[in-house]
Amino acid sequence: MRMRSPIPKKHARIEIIPLIDIMFFLLASFMMVSLSQTHMKGIRVNLPAPTSAPQPPDQQKDYVAIRVTEGNLVYFDNVLVPDDQVLPRLYELRKGNPNVKVSLSAEQNSLHGDVIMLLDRVRSAEIEKVGYQIKTASPTGSAGTVPPP
């Protein structure tokens, strides 16, 4: 025979609402503490003062793009320069800015010797900062070009 206990039996329950209240309190506390510990520090920067006068147009440039095309035509910033004026123009650029930068490029049909001759002229003008613009050749070749021998 089964007998019941005179003490009423209660089922265990977990109350989640007080747990949620405690978690929100802890979250708010940690957020307030972390915000109070953040110090906004900056670095003093001396910014240049604005100038009202525009730059003069005759100011020497620090970069020149030189392009060699077929027939040994030389272009300085897309302006054709006669062959006898290339070296004086390079000396003039060097005189105006000793740290002038030159970017050499050549079209596909220009001769290798013409580009080397221009490079020799740049070196004779004592320009030390020279860059080369190189494009990869297409594997099929473009229309109107002759494949190398």
Quick one: tokens of 108? Answer: 């596909």
**Taking residues 116-142, what's their average pLDDT?**
81
Position 48 scores a pLDDT of 81
pLDDT of 135 strictly over 80: no
By percentage, how much of the chain surpasses pLDDT 90? 12
Predicted TM-score (pTM) of this structure: 0.51
Mean of pLDDT over the chain = 81
Residue 84 lies in a domain: yes
Counted domains in the chain: 1
Residue 43 lies in a domain: no
Spatial CA neighbour of 69 closest among 110, 20, 29: 110
Residue 139 lies in a domain: no
pLDDT of 149 strictly over 80: no
> Are residues 129 and 100 in contact, defined by beta-carbon separation less than 8 angstroms?
yes
DSSP secondary structure string for all residues of 75-94: EETTEEE-GGGHHHHHHHHH
Position 68 scores a pLDDT of 92
Residue 41 lies in a domain: no
pLDDT of 147 strictly over 80: no
Residue 119 lies in a domain: yes
Residue 95 lies in a domain: yes
Residue 114 lies in a domain: yes
Position 20 scores a pLDDT of 92
Position 28 scores a pLDDT of 94
- pLDDT tens digits for 13-66? 888 888 899 999 999 999 988 887 766 677 777 878 877 655 555 566 788 899
Which carries the bigger pLDDT value, residue 93 or residue 54?
93
Domain range for residue 107? 79-132
User: Counting beta carbons within 10 angstroms of the beta carbon of residue 100, is it exposed (0 to 12), middle (13 to 18) or buried (19 or more)?
Assistant: buried
Residue 110 lies in a domain: yes
Spatial CA neighbour of 135 closest among 114, 117, 109, 116: 109
In total, the chain counts a number of residues equal to: 149
Which carries the bigger pLDDT value, residue 44 or residue 88?
88
